[in-house]
Structures are given as structure tokens and as C-alpha cells.
Structure 1
């Protein structure tokens, strides 16, 4: 533990100007590697006049396959999922560390982030209102992928001697492939996935979130030219790192307790604000719904027409809810249950909350504002678009968006710290020293993300996170029959319990 602590102290003692110089040097050094990886991961192919990123096609095709394979469980399973979240089937004596609701809250905190505020606005600005409809469709399809991931993550998780559990794609890749006689391949894919999630958590799940939270605070306190925080990113990072440390130091139980309170609050907080704006824009709602449907199937001014709009909507959805990435299965697998399918059902709610509800709220706010101020999105960044749309009705909305953005970023960071931790312990082994070292480094990266710009590093981690969807989806295809077997077993049990509870049963 001494070397990381010494390193941390030395870095914090460095002058900010020296750190800024390191920023430029790292960016220049990483740029060629990042460009090469991004070109591979986000390779685009021309299709009917549109350019389709293969990674998006890979994820959406899997979501469509699993939706059909499980007979539209993504829709018919929602009532059962709600019953499980409310406490049905919960038994504190079962293996695991958190309740179904806490596991869901932790996973939702990892997916609901800055992209729900800014990324959706960009998708609507570029692809038009029709992109929002395809985003919803992709979100509904992604629910099926989440079901398979989280069922398998819970089924193949490892029980540790101290009573904790470790699960996720690395475990079902290793153990599931071993059952199929491909043990060596499974171990290799599991390690590749674990390494990817460790690196990815430091970028997309940490530095990017810290930087965006800092930028929001600066913007609402006078901007970089007038805010007291304008040149104090390091101080903001230290405070944010301390808040993160207070949560993650206690492990998944502590994270789940916090997300169980923060996630419902932040979701209701943001949705209440969006509903207020939509109520004030109620005259424009018929226009918004018509524009979404018409734009989804008829977009003559868009490159690739309707297909181009579909690509943008699908891309925003898969980037937002991360269905197929496998990260959420790490959080869901910590649940207290001896029936893995119960958590598969619960995971259906995650893309529904993230994409179908929260992202759609943002899209409707943007589209209804376009009714009153056509073209208002031109020349603006994503979060700025959403902030301006809110501000048209309520003058103090930038503060509201800043608070929402901070909560979204903070919750994402604490969830991704757990994802990265489980990837790390998969690689180096379980132990207090390994966990403490990882958490210390994670908090250090919070300070780095708030203080300096590391565009190449962030782009590299972003590409790597989507690269690991390749082995994950391969594993899901291979193990889908296992998930369907577990589903049939659970459904028989559920019918038996329902019959026993029915009035008049003996």
C-alpha cells in the first residue's frame, strides 16, 4: 500500500502547470493508439446511403435476436419484474449481498449519466425527432439483452470465503465456456473483458464524469472567465474524490445503500423538472409525437433517409443503456437470491428507466422547444441544448440541469468503481490490499479528470468499453440456452407459488 500512497501525495504536490504539461504530452502520445482503436471499434460501413457503425449493428442485432428467442420477454416480463423489485421472492438467507431493488438502483446509477441529458439532445439535433422514436425501440430491444446478461451473471457468480460474491461477464465467459469444453478460450475472453472494464472504468466511468460535473459547476457560477472554480479543478476533484471515497470504501453494500436513495431521488428530480417543462409546452406535444413518427420513417433531408435516423437513434440507445456491454451484470450479480432468473427479470427495468423514460423525457423537451424556436439547437453542445430548452420556460433551469448533471455523474462514478473493482480482483485475486489499492487509484483519477483534459485517454477507454461487447455477446449467444433453461425452471416455480397462494387452495 505504501507506493500508491506516496505516488498520490507526490502527484498532489505537483504544480498545476506541470500537470497541465503532462496533459498535453499524454494526449500526443496516446493519439495514434486511440485513433487506431477507435477506427477498429467504430468502423462504419455504407448501407443504403447511411453509414452504420458495426458495433451498433452488433449490439442491436443481438438485442433483436434475444427478444425473439425469449418470446418478447422484455414486454411481457415487466409486471413480474415489478413484483420482484417490491420484495417477492426475497429471502435474506439466500447467497448475495444486496436486495433486488438495491442491485437495480446500482446498475441504473451506472447507466443514467450525462448522456441522458446531453447525448440525447445531440441525437435529436443531428437525426431529427425521428431519432427519438428509434432510440425508444432500441431501448425496448436492449431489455432482452440485459435479461440474458444478468441471469448468467448471477448464475455463474463466484461465492468468496468472506460471504461476498463476484460476478459478471468475466465469470460466465470462463465458467460457461468451460462447460462447453472451451475452458482455455473462456479464460482468455474473461481476462480480456476484465482488463477492458478496469481501463474503461477509469475513463468513461470516472474521468469523463468528473470533468463534466466540474464543467457544470463552473458554467452556473460564472463560466471559466468569472467563476471562482474556473482555475480550481484540482480542488473540485479533491472534494468529489472524498465524496466518492466515503461511498466506495464500504464496498457494494455501502454503494447499494447510497444508490438506493440517490437514484430514485435523481430520477424523480429530473423527470419532475422535465414533466413541468412538458406541461408548459403541452400545446407542442401533438407536434412532437407526430414529428417523432414522421421523422422515423420519412427523413428526406437526412443522409441515408429513415435508415440514417434509425442508426442515430439506435446508437444513442446502446451508448446510453449499455445493453450488451455486460457491465450492469456485475452489479446485478451481487443480489441476494438463489434463483438467478429473478435478477434477470429485474434487469428488464434498467433500460426501460434509462432509455424509455429518462432519455425520452429529454428528447420531448428538446422537440417541443423546437416547435416554438425552430433551429435553436444549432451551434450548441448537448448539455447546453437541454439547458437552453429548460431555460426557455424557467429562468433558473441551468442550476437545475447542473444539479441533475452532478447527481448523474456522481452516481455513475460510484457504480463504475464497483465494475472496475470486480474486473481488477478477477485479474489479481480477491483481497483487502488489492481492493484498497484499486479504490485509491480510482479516487486519484477523479482528481485528474477534474483538473486536466485527457481527450485521447477518454476516447481510448470509450472505444475499449465497446470493444469488450464482442466477447460478451459471443458468450451470450453460446449460453442463451442455459438462460432459457433457467427461465423455464423459474416460471414453473412461479406458477406453483401462485397456485398455492390463490384463494381456496389447500
Structure 2
């Protein structure tokens, strides 16, 4: 019955959509009106504000930051201490340990009864579908996105240059959360009969908490997380990405036609469909090429602008430092600027949300901590490198051309330029780059589309994992989810469903609550796995 209901829903949804539009009922407007009250309630709960020195801070951000700080201290600053190990593991330096070595030194009971060492790839193979690098790029493709382009510009405009330092600090702390959740994602993953990997918070909440005698709580948290990740994949991981990519495309094409957005969405859906049909293996193969390429384009352009304005760099650094530690800042003082920076970093790298552990769970390894350590690089690349590049460009160009005044904000998303004109986040970044490099809007459009495309690839996988956890594994469930996901690409590109997107963002960050509970309870398991992996590396060096 469940399969038939899913199939029926898949067929009916597009029919309802187009029939309502045909009757002139305004599909997106009707949904916006109906959904706004729901969105407001959910958002108010997830982003419930706590006042700190007169500034409202969403409770979810406080939980993320305190969790990241705890994991950093608990694991003895592994985010810094093991950076070299992380880079070498990503490059495949320790693949021999993962794939061939019988690790009696690390505590495994090998060989088995017939004398065969079950860890050796020559005999049974290593569980997993993608390499360390592919898993990292798949996870990065979900976080390195429009938040790095649009969100950072708003953070700098609202909080001033000083927000940059606090973004970097939050990114460094977030590395610890990623390490913990990715390690658990691998440790408690399951392997299907077809060899596919099923992992992420749904599984370590269920299995890990059951080991602690908290099976009932674990099941409730896992189901809640799965529902949220499915909703988040349709909205923030899909419709928002398609909507912003279509908007940037229409700016470049100099058109406001709704049909342009629709056909852009159709083409984007076809491209996404060609990739996600192949599952995580094909997603990994695509992201390992797309993510480095788009990062090089964006960071490369940023460096060009920075080096073109070398003489302004000292003044920019001075503004960043003064803005971060000037208690008399008109933009809210140290706490106010700190809050803006921390909040933007948390929204950008999603460390502690748990979504990335789903991609990392598919890695080929016998050591859960090996992927956890690799995963810790994610927030560094996403926040410390790419977000910082965006911030530096905006600060330098603004110093040179006085594009806008820090703090001249109409609302959270719109600020005023020097002419009093309203400009948004993506527009501000585009303006900054365009001012420094003529016609850069073409390159930025390519970057935005690539960011959106890669984000949709990974979020399709995240959503599918939550979907199969809820509805079971099988071809029907797989096809139904992917069909719905591709329909949402077109809807997102051709509509203005603001409240739906706000709601989906709230769903994504609602994942923090069950995930952080699980991470705190299972943190000792992670420390054991780190020790086991480092012991195996040390033993291999001696040989």
C-alpha cells in the first residue's frame, strides 16, 4: 500500500501544479499564502532568539557553537592537531592501511577461524562506494554554495569587516563537529544487499543510542531527523538553489520572463537527473571534478582582485581587526559583530547539522575515524578559505570605491549602496567583483549555477537516505523520491515560494537538535576510533 501511495503522489503532484496554473489560480502565490503561517511558526521555534547583550541570537546557533567548542576540547584540539593527517588521508596516503593491513595492533580479532584476514581487500574487499576525496567533495558540494557568495556579503555589510575574524573562528571550531559526526556516520552505517551504503544520523542515532540503553529515544530522534532531511532536501537543498541560479541566469540574460525560469529549471532538472540516477558513485565522480573547478574559479578571481589591490590590503586588515575587537563599534560592539560572524559561518558550513555525515558514510574504509578526520577539512575550505576570500574582496573593493556604508540595512537581506539603491546579497557580491573586474558577472553566473548544481546533487542523496529510512529500501521508493526531487527543481526555478524556502531552511537547522544530542552521547566512541586509527598509522610507519 505504501508503494502505491508514493507512486500516486508522484503522478498527481505535477498534474495538480499545472492544472492550478492553467486555471489562473497562481500556484506559487496560493502556496505562499497558505504556507506562510506554518513557516512562521516553525521558523520561530527553530530560530527562537535568546538575547545576549541586547542582541538576539537564534538558540540553534548557540547549540552549534557550544557543541563545536566542546568537541574541540574533548578531542584535544584534533581539528588542528590532525590537520596533516587529514590532508594525507584525503590524498590517499593511508589507503594501504585502510585496504590491506590486518590490524591486530589496533585491537581487531583477526584472522578469523579459517585463517583468512577479513580486513584484506584481496579477499573480501573494503566496504564503501567512494574514495575519501570523493566523499569530501560530495559533502563540500552541499555546503560550498550560495551562502558563500550571498550570505557572506550580507554578514560583512551588516556586521562590518570585523565579522570576518569571527567567521574564521567559527569555521575552525566547526571542524571538530564535522570530525565527530562523520566518524559516527561510518561507524554505524549499514550495507544493503546490493552493496549500497546507508548511513548518517538516522543510523548512529538508532544503533548508537541503543548500545547506550537509549533505543527508544534514538528511534524517535532518528525518525525526526529523517523527516527534516527530506524536507530540507526539497527546499533549501533544491528549490532555493534552483531559484537563485535561475535569478542569476535571468540577470545575465537581461530578462524577467517567467518562462525563462521555467525552461532554465527544466534543463537544470535534466542535468541533475542524469547524475543522481547513478547514486553516490556517480555523484562522487561529478563532484570531485566540479567542486575543485568552481572553487578555483571563485578563489582564483578573488585572489586576482586582492593582488590587484595589494596597497589596500593593510587598510583592509586594519578594518577587520578593529571591527572585530572595537567595543565601541557603531555596528553593535564586539558581541554584535561576533554574533553576525558566528551565525554566518554556522549557516555556511552546517557543521553539527549532521547532513554531511550521510555523504561521508559511503567512503571506502575500515577505520571510521579516517573519514572523520578527512571530513574536518570541510569547514576549513568552506568557511576559512572561501568565505574569507569573499569577505576580503568586498572589504577591499568597498575601501577603494565606497560602494556602501556598513550597517545601512533595510532588512536582513537588503542594504543600500552609496546612491541609496537597494541591493541584495548576491547583487552586492556581483557588484564588488564587477567593479574590480569588468564583465565578471558572466563568470559569477557560471559559479552560481555550478554552486547550485553541486548543492542539489548532494542534497538529493541526503534526502534519498532520509526517504529510504522512512519508507524502506527499494526501486519504487528510489524512483519516487528522485522524480519528486526533479519536479521541485523546476518549481523552484520558476516560482517565488519564499515561505516554503524559509520553512525548509528551518527544517535543515531543526536537524541540529537530534544530531547534537547523539553526538554528545556518542563522543567517547569517536575518541576511541581516533586512537585506533592513529595507532594503525603508527604501526604501519614502524614496518
Range class of TM-score, shorter chain: over 0.9
- Contact persistence 1:302–1:309 (CA under 8 A): no
Tell me the equivalent position of 2:83.
Answer: 78
User: Do residues 432 (structure 1) and 480 (structure 2) align?
Assistant: no
- Contact persistence 2:397–2:436 (CA under 8 A): no
Tell me the equivalent position of 2:513.
Answer: 470
Tell me the equivalent position of 1:503.
Answer: none
- Contact persistence 1:200–1:465 (CA under 8 A): yes
CA 1:20–1:359 in 2, change beyond 3 Å: closer, same or farther? Answer: farther
- Contact persistence 2:10–2:484 (CA under 8 A): no
Structure 2 counterparts to residues 53-92 of structure 1, below 5 A: 53-90=58-95, 91=99
- Contact persistence 1:20–1:452 (CA under 8 A): no
Aligned equivalent of 1:294, options 314, 322, 326: 322
Give the secondary-structure state (helix, strand or coil) at the position aligned to 1:231.
Answer: helix
CA 1:33–1:71 in 2, change beyond 3 Å: closer, same or farther? Answer: same
Which stretches in structure 2 are left out of the alignment for 5+ residues? 100-120, 406-415, 417-421
Q: Distance in 1 between matches of 2:76 and 2:457?
A: 35
Q: Cα distance, 1:41 vs. partner? A: 1.1
Q: Distance in 1 between matches of 2:380 and 2:66?
A: 18
Q: Cα distance, 1:150 vs. partner? A: 0.2
Structure 2 counterparts to residues 346-357 of structure 1, below 5 A: 346-357=374-385
- Contact persistence 2:21–2:27 (CA under 8 A): no
* Deviations 1:156-179, CA, capped at 9 Å, x for gaps: 001111111110011000011100
Q: Cα distance, 1:317 vs. partner? A: 0.3
User: Do residues 36 (structure 1) and 79 (structure 2) align?
Assistant: no
Q: Distance in 1 between matches of 2:294 and 2:23?
A: 37
Which stretches in structure 1 are left out of the alignment for 5+ residues? 501-506
- Contact persistence 1:111–1:320 (CA under 8 A): yes
Give the secondary-structure state (helix, strand or coil) at the position aligned to 2:56.
Answer: strand
Tell me the equivalent position of 2:181.
Answer: 149
In angstroms, what is the RMSD of aligned CA positions?
1.6
Tell me the equivalent position of 1:340.
Answer: 368
Q: Distance in 1 between matches of 2:240 and 2:27?
A: 18
Q: Cα distance, 1:18 vs. partner? A: 4.6
User: Do residues 46 (structure 1) and 44 (structure 2) align?
Assistant: no
Q: Distance in 2 between matches of 1:354 and 1:288?
A: 21
- Number of equivalenced pairs: 496
Aligned equivalent of 2:269, options 232, 235, 241: 241
Q: Distance in 1 between matches of 2:187 and 2:468?
A: 19
Tell me the equivalent position of 2:216.
Answer: 184
Q: Distance in 1 between matches of 2:299 and 2:332?
A: 33
Q: Distance in 2 between matches of 1:323 and 1:451?
A: 31
- Contact persistence 2:42–2:503 (CA under 8 A): yes
- Contact persistence 1:218–1:230 (CA under 8 A): no
Q: Cα distance, 1:230 vs. partner? A: 5.0
Q: Distance in 2 between matches of 1:320 and 1:99?
A: 24
User: Do residues 447 (structure 1) and 447 (structure 2) align?
Assistant: no
Structure 2 counterparts to residues 355-504 of structure 1, below 5 A: 355-376=383-404, 378=416, 379-500=422-543
Give the secondary-structure state (helix, strand or coil) at the position aligned to 1:153.
Answer: helix
Q: Cα distance, 1:328 vs. partner? A: 0.2
Tell me the equivalent position of 2:230.
Answer: 198
Q: Distance in 1 between matches of 2:426 and 2:307?
A: 21
Q: Distance in 2 between matches of 1:178 and 1:9?
A: 41
